[in-house]
Amino acid sequence: MRPSRFLLAVASLLLSLPALAAQEDEQVWLANFSTIEVGSKVLLFSDVQFRLTDGADRLGQVLVRPAVGYRITSSDTLFLGYTYVRTEPLNGTPTDEHRMFQQALVRIAGKPGRATVTGRTRLEQRWLEGRSDMGWRVRQMVRLDAPTGAGVNAIVWAEPFVNLDTTTWGQRPGFDQLRVFGGVGVPLARGIALEAGYSGQYVNRFNAPDRMNHIGSLALTIRR
């Protein structure tokens, strides 16, 4: 797919998702993504996020996700990691979720310095504290980074989530959610960049109205 067609496809998703949801919220997600290279093959990765929900008025969720990666080619890397998620809904019971995940990050097209398309496939095993069963979920992101010639990158991506089984804590097999993003990446220093933009999160919920979250996204990325 040409980069221009990919941009148009994601733009269409951004415009069409709000009409599908019964509930909407405005949020702000702040993140830090750090990657440290250990030798030529091993990567240490960390992802820390603070998500302001309910009109971006309160801290509704915190996520911490460390991982170890092994580079199998110059453009393809396998990861093994763990995720902790603390969720505090406005009118619900707080939850502590734990996940193990396996991930493949591959370059689909392009090369450094030019427009590139990457794919990220992530398989998750999910537990909630106080519950005995485990849920399986797969996520597939496709991302386009395109230099604009003004020192910044245009960035768009889409990531559907699919549940693979049923759990007692509410997971049902099938489509779970879709996240899309459109924004820019601004280099701040060597190996450091700021990514800012709009993200739409459409959530398919069981025994509750579906939800559309409009998210102002700001992420600091560090690579050493």
Q: What is the pLDDT of residues 108-122, one digit of tens each?
A: 999 877 899 999 999
The identity of residue 22, as a single letter, is A
Single-letter amino acid, residue 224: R
SS3 state of residue 15: helix
Residues β-bridged to residue 184: 154, 196
Mean pLDDT of 91-111: 95
How far apart CA 77 and CA 87 sit, in angstroms, is 30
Q: 218 near 50, Cβ under 8 Å?
A: no
CATH number of 3-223: 2.40.160
* Tokens linked to 209: 């109205």
pTM: 0.91
Centroid of chain to Cα 140: 10
Q: How far is 11 from 16, CA to CA, in rounded Å?
A: 9
- State the sign of the Cα–Cα–Cα–Cα dihedral 160, 162, 167, 170: positive
Residue 222 near residue 33, CB atoms below 8 Å: yes
pLDDT band at 7 (very low <50, low <70, confident <90, very high): low
Q: What amino acid is encoded at 214 in this protein?
A: H
Contact call for residues 51 and 59 (beta carbons, < 8 A)? yes
What mean pLDDT comes out for the span 93-120?
94
pLDDT of residue 100: 98
SS3 3: helix
